[in-house]
Amino acid sequence: MFLEFFYLLRLRGLKVSINEWMVLMDAMNQGLAHSSLLAFYHLCRCILIKTEADYDKLDSVFAEYFAGIETPEDLPEEFWKWLSEEDRERDINDKRVHENVIHELEELLEMFHERIKEQKERHDGGTYWIGTGGTSVMGRGGYNPAGIRTGGHSRHRSAVQIAGEHHYRDFRDDQVIDVRQYQMAFRKLRQYSTRVDAAKTELDIDETIDETCDNAGMLHLVYERPRKNTVKVLLLMDSDGSMLMYSDMCARLFQALRKSNHFKDLKVYYFHNCIYDHLYNNPYCKRGDWIDTEWVLKNLDEEYKVIFVGDAAMAPSELYRRGGNAFVGLFNEETGITWLDRFDKRYKKKIWLNPIQRKNWEFAYGRETIEAIGKIFPMFDLTMDGLEKGIKRLLVR
C-alpha cells in the first residue's frame, strides 16, 4: 500500500524507517486518515517527521506524488471564481448569526459536500450557501462560531476546518532561523552542565517521553537532579559595514543568548571586520568605549566557548598588514590574523558563524579572507543546519 510513496520519501531525503512506515500503515488500517488526503498528510507529519527541517521535504513529496488528485477538501474551480469576484466582508464586530446550532464535524462536512452539489451561482451575505460576508456555516468574510472557512484569511479564529490552498511554513535547513530556534540550539550546550547532588526535582522530558511510550501511552513522569550551569560563553560580533544587511539576524542571535539561562557566564564584545588591540563594549564601536583584547585573553580562561559572528569579508590588508585597521587613527602593531591566531591558541572550543550562506562563500566579496579565517576557526553559516553543526562542534570533547 503506497509503496511507491514510501520509496519516494526515502529518495527525497526523508529518513523513514520500516517501523515508522508500519505504524503509519496500522494507523491507516484503523481509519485514522478518515479517507481524507489532508488527514493522511497530518498522519505522515505526526509519525514520519522527526524534525521541523523536514516539513518542507514532506510537502514537496506530497505535491509530487499526489499531483492532480482531486480531494473532498477542495472546492470546484467555479466556486473559487465566485468567491474571488468580490470579497465581501461582514463588520468584524457583528457576530449575530441566523442559528446558534453547533454541528458535529462529520455533519458539517456532509453539509459542505451537499452545498457543493446544490449551489449553481454566487452568493453573498446569506445564511445557507457557500459565499462571502454571511453567517452560513461555510464561506468566508462573515461570522459563524464553528464553520468551514473557504479560503481567505482568518478574522475570528473560529473555523473548525479550512478548505482551499494549504500554505505550509518552510522549515528547510538552509532557512534563516528565529529567536526560538536559536534558543533551542543553544540549549544543547547544557550537556556541559553538571548535575547537583540533590533531590530529583527537574522533569526529564526525553526520558518521560520514552517511558510513556514504553508504558503504552500512559503518562509516566521521570525526574532528574537539577543542573548547575557551568557553561561560559564569549560572544564576539562583527558590527557595521558589510554586516548591516545581517543586523536583524544578528540581533535575533544576541536576543536569544541574552534570554538564555543555560550559561554560568556570558561575555559579549564587538569588533569591526577583524579583531585588533581593542574589543568594543557595544555595536556602535565608539573610540574609547572598549576593552583591551589582551585583557580578555588573559582574564577569560580557556574554559570559555568562543563564538565569532561575522561575514569574515574584508580587504586583505585588514587581515594581513600592520596598520590595516579600517578605523583611521587606530594603527595596529600586530596584524589581524595574528590576533585571530592568539584566540585560536588560547581557547579549545571556538566556532565562527557566518551570515553568508556557505554555497556563496567562494563567490562573495572578501572570499580570500573568508577562506583564510575558515582555516583558523571551524566556520558555519547562520542557518538552522549550520548552527546545529556549530553547536555540535562546541560539544566535541
CATH number of domain containing 256 = 3.40.50
Are residues 130 and 256 part of one domain? no
What is the chain's alpha carbon radius of gyration, rounded to the nearest angstrom? 28
Please give the distance of CA 387 from its chain centroid, rounded to a whole number.
11
330 DSSP assignment = -
Q: Do 391 and 327 reside in the same domain of the chain? A: yes
By the 10 Å C-beta count (0-12 exposed, 13-18 middle, 19+ buried), 175 is classed as middle
> What is the three-class DSSP state of 253?
helix
216 lies in the same domain as 246: no
pLDDT of residue 168: 38
State how many domains the chain has: 4
178 within some domain = no
Question: Cα–Cα distance between 75 and 154 in angstroms, integer?
Answer: 18
Separation CA 202–CA 339 (nearest Å): 42
Torsion of CA 335, 340, 342, 348, to 10 degrees: -170
Tell me if 348 is assigned to some domain. yes
CA 39, CA 53: separation in Å to the nearest integer? 21
Residue 242 shares a structural domain with residue 94: no
CA distance 233 to 231: 7
Same domain, yes or no: 20 and 145: no
Report the distance separating Cα 348 and Cα 378, nearest Å: 12
User: Same domain for 245 and 315?
Assistant: yes
- Output phi, psi for 26, to 5 deg: -65, -40
What is the dihedral angle through the alpha carbons of 276, 278, 279, 281, rounded to the nearest 10 degrees?
-160
Residue 336 inside a domain? The answer is: yes
DSSP structure string for 107-171? HHHHHHHHHHHH--S--BS-SSSSEESS-SSEEESS--TT-EEESS--SSS--SEEES-------
Task: Please list the pLDDT of the chain residue by residue as tens digits (397 residues).
Answer: 578 889 989 888 888 988 899 999 999 888 888 767 778 888 898 899 887 667 778 888 887 887 655 444 455 666 556 556 566 666 666 666 666 555 565 676 777 777 777 777 776 777 777 777 677 766 666 766 666 666 555 554 444 444 544 443 443 444 445 666 666 667 766 665 555 556 777 788 888 998 899 888 889 998 887 766 778 899 999 987 778 777 777 777 777 777 766 678 889 999 999 999 999 998 888 889 999 999 999 999 999 999 999 999 988 999 999 988 877 678 899 999 999 999 999 999 999 999 998 999 998 889 999 999 999 999 999 887 888 899 889 887 6
3-state SS, residue 197:
coil
In the prediction, which pLDDT does 156 show? 47
Grid cell locating 252: 535575533
Are residue 259 and residue 349 in the same domain, yes or no? yes
Judge if 313 and 382 occupy the same domain.
Answer: yes
Give the per-residue pLDDT at 94: 62
Residue 291 in 3-state DSSP?
strand
Q: Following CA atoms 181, 184, 185, 187 in sequence, which dihedral angle do they give, to the nearest 10 degrees?
A: 160
Pair (264, 378) in one structural domain: yes
Q: Are residues 294 and 353 in the same domain?
A: yes
CA distance readout (Å), 158 to 94, 114, 144, 163 = 14, 22, 7, 14
* Residue 190 forms part of a structural domain: no
**Domain region containing 264:** 230-395
Q: Which amino acid is at 219?
A: L
Q: Are strands 232-238 and 305-309 parallel, antiparallel or unpaired?
A: parallel
Q: Which of 114, 149, 184 is the last residue of a domain?
A: 149
Burial class (CB in 10 A: 0-12, 13-18, 19+), 194: exposed
Closest by Cα among 333, 372, 368, 366 to 352: 372
Q: Which amino acid is at 351?
A: I
Centre a 10 Å sphere on the Cβ of residue 154 and count the other Cβ atoms it contains. Answer: 10
Q: Are 92 and 61 members of one domain?
A: no
Residue among 256, 251, 366, 360 nearest 313 (CA) = 366
Distance from C-alpha of 223 to C-alpha of 208, rounded to nearest angstrom: 8
End-to-end CA distance of the chain: 46
